[in-house]
Homo-oligomer: A and B are copies of this chain.
Amino acid sequence: MKAKVTVRLKSGVLDPQGRAVQHAAESLGLQGIQEIRLGKVFDIELETTDETEIEKILETLATKILANPVMENYEWEIIQS
């Protein structure tokens, strides 16, 4: 089974990488971009098809490894394969 965990900076947290991309867009002449924020997406392939087990794995992964709970939010979804 496949799953996807998306990790984003919390809304108050400064995002210099996103700002850099936004500036690059402006130098390219792209107008009307108000904000760009950069996050991470983890595409995960799992052996099991048991959704309860997958949920447990994803929760542990997200809270212990993928996201820093002080600065980041996460969300995950299971993708039927």
Chain A interface residues toward B at CB < 8 A: 6, 8, 18, 21, 24-25, 28, 30, 32-48, 53, 57, 60-61, 64-66
Question: Contacts A21-B65, A24-B65, A61-B25 known; A34 to B45 CB distance under 8 Å?
Answer: yes
Question: Contacts A24-B65, A28-B64 known; A44 to B33 CB distance under 8 Å?
Answer: yes
Contacts of A61 in B (CB 8 A): 25, 30, 33
| Total copies of this chain within the assembly | 2
Contacts of A48 in B (CB 8 A): 32
Selected from B36, B43, B65, the residue in CB contact (under 8 A) with A8 is B43
Contacts of A35 in B (CB 8 A): 43-45
